[in-house]
Copies of this chain bind each other. A is one copy, B any other.
């Protein structure tokens, strides 16, 4: 039956090369031939592994998104302040670790499937932040507030900080996390109301 079964170059290696090219050049400007060349194989062999470019791309996204959510499980909700600090740190860490895939997801935003992915991501993260805020308000650690709006703003601030790093190339991961945490928790007013 099966005479051979393994590809000379495994999918994972192709995806690695594709990640680099897509993130540096964008979807349209990353050529199938580039990807093939980068891993030292022919275009034809590429098409044995993936039926077309779009599928290769989506497989890459799927592969890289796998552990996207798992990181934020098991935050210490009984210590809301701590949970928030950890949440911010995890987010920034993770983003910088997966900066390549993120830069693609931010950019290629006419690809319909990415739109769904992003929305899904927002919903999940918004939920997590809401839980932290709700716990904090109950706890009297946080003031009364509009939890939905505040969660959106916190989400936006974190993503903005990541963008500052990714797109503008500005800032340092650790100190950025701290500054952001301080800003969100304490604000800048001397006599906060």
- Separation in Å of the A166 CB from the closest CB of chain B? 9
Q: How large is the interface on A (under 10, 10 to 19, 20 to 34, 35 or more residues)?
A: 35 or more
Residues of B within 8 A of A109 (CB): 103, 107, 167
Residues of B within 8 A of A167 (CB): 106, 109, 118
Q: Indicate how many identical chains form the complex.
A: 2
What is the 8 Å Cβ interface bit string for chain A, positions 149-193, against chain B (1 contact, 0 not)? Answer: 110111111111101100110110001100110011111111011
In the complex formed, the residue of B with least CB distance to A156 is B160
Asked whether A145 is an interface residue with its Cβ less than 8 Å from the other chain, the reply is: yes
Instruction: Assess whether B190 is in contact with A185, with CB atoms less than 8 Å apart.
Output: no
- Separation in Å of the A167 CB from the closest CB of chain B? 6
The secondary-structure label for the interface of chain A is: helix
- Separation in Å of the A115 CB from the closest CB of chain B? 9
| Partner pick for A141 among B142, B143, B189, CB 8 A cutoff | B189
* 24 chain-A/chain-B pairs, Cβ below 8 angstroms: A25-B110, A26-B110, A28-B29, A106-B106, A106-B107, A118-B168, A119-B168, A122-B170, A133-B188, A141-B190, A142-B188, A142-B189, A145-B188, A149-B176, A152-B176, A153-B176, A155-B164, A156-B161, A158-B160, A159-B163, A160-B161, A183-B187, A184-B188, A192-B192
